[in-house]
Amino acid sequence: MKIISVNCMKGGVGRTTLTCHLAIALAKLKKKVMLIDLDPIANASYAFGIKSTKDTTGIVEKDGVMILPAKKANIPIRVELADSIERKQILNGSFCGINDYDYVLLDCPSYSSAQVKEALKHADEVLIPIAFDAFTIHSLEQTFLSIEEARQAGNSKLKVHGIIPIQIFEFDVPLAKGILQEIKKTTNEHIYSTIRYCKDIPDSVRHSKSVFDYAPESTGALDFMSFAKEFIQDN
């Protein structure tokens, strides 16, 4: 069992979309997957059709993925930590049957928070999605810093699994090449093939479906599936 935290210290880079689609793709590839929604905004829970998370407790199965939804639908000022028994047990490894899982994926908030700290404390590996804009290099540096902090704080085995560039907007496409070249100068970590801009991805969320169901022939479905296949090989 591997715990993979999906982190980038910048908002709106496609982190939740990536986490959900990686989870579903891994399940389609016969892996046993759990997704924990650690973001109090609860977008991952919402994406799986779990719309009212206020009273949600316990694990829900959707699209072959076991999901532990975020418990709070409202954005609290003081965010509760490890607010479910399952979450505590899963993260500390005492959850019954956890070793039957191949992967536990953690969808985190972007900002430095108790949730990010908790995720990085327990994770084996970090997956870093990045978007293409002027702040990419800076947010990557901040993300590496938070990983280093977690190592110093005791999780010395924490590894970077890789970086996944995501074209969130159509206008990202011409920027991508130059930014990728810049990133390659700043890190030796593995950089996956870019998840291309795909209009069907935001459309699929509006229809409460994954892009695999909503537009199975789309570039989004193809890119997430090939990413998942490569991801398995790298483990």
Ligand X SMILES: Nc1ncnc2c1ncn2[C@@H]1O[C@H](COP(=O)(O)OP(=O)(O)OP(=O)(O)O)[C@@H](O)[C@H]1O
Contacting residues toward Mg ion, per CB under 5 A:
15-16, 43
Q: Which one, 95 or 106, has the nearer CB to ligand X?
A: 106
Is 4 a residue that touches ligand X (CB under 6 A)? no
Phi-psi region of 97 (alpha: psi -120 to 50; beta: other; left: phi over 0): left
Stretch that binds ligand X, among 12-20, 51-59, 120-128, 173-181 (CB under 6 A): 12-20
Stretch that binds ligand X, among 13-21, 60-68, 80-88, 142-150 (CB under 6 A): 13-21
Give SS3 for 156: coil
Is 35 a residue that touches ligand X (CB under 6 A)? no
Task: Considering only residues 87 through 126, tell me which ones interact with ligand X, judged by CB under 6 A.
Answer: 110
Q: Which among 152, 164, 178 is positioned nearest to 230, based on CA atoms?
A: 164
Q: Which one, 17 or 115, has the nearer CB to ligand X?
A: 17
Q: Which does 11 bind (CB under 5 to 8 A by kind): Mg ion, ligand X, none?
A: ligand X
3-state helix, strand, coil in the chain (%, to 5): 40, 15, 40
Among 5, 7, 43, 146, indicate the residue that binds ligand X (CB under 6 A).
43
Provide the sign of the torsion angle of the four alpha carbons 217, 25, 105, 42, taken in this order.
Answer: positive
Nearest-approach distance from CB 205 to Mg ion, in angstroms? 11
Is 45 a residue that touches ligand X (CB under 6 A)? no
Q: Which one, 34 or 205, has the nearer CB to ligand X?
A: 205
Q: Which does 179 bind (CB under 5 to 8 A by kind): Mg ion, ligand X, none?
A: none
| The 3-state secondary structure of 34-74, one letter per residue | EEEECCCCCHHHHHCCCCCCCCCCCCEEECCEEEECCCCCC
Task: Considering only residues 163 through 222, tell me which ones interact with ligand X, judged by CB under 6 A.
Answer: 166-168, 195, 197-198, 201-202, 205, 220
Q: Which does 163 bind (CB under 5 to 8 A by kind): Mg ion, ligand X, none?
A: none
Give SS3 for 98: helix
CB 108 within 8 A of CB 5: yes
| Strands of the chain, DSSP E | 2-6, 33-37, 60-62, 65-68, 103-107, 125-130, 159-165
What the block records as the tokens of 116 is: 């990010």
What the block records as the tokens of 115 is: 């949730």
Q: Which one, 33 or 201, has the nearer CB to ligand X?
A: 201
Interface contacts to ligand X, rule CB under 6 A: 11-17, 39, 43, 110, 166-168, 195, 197-198, 201-202, 205, 220
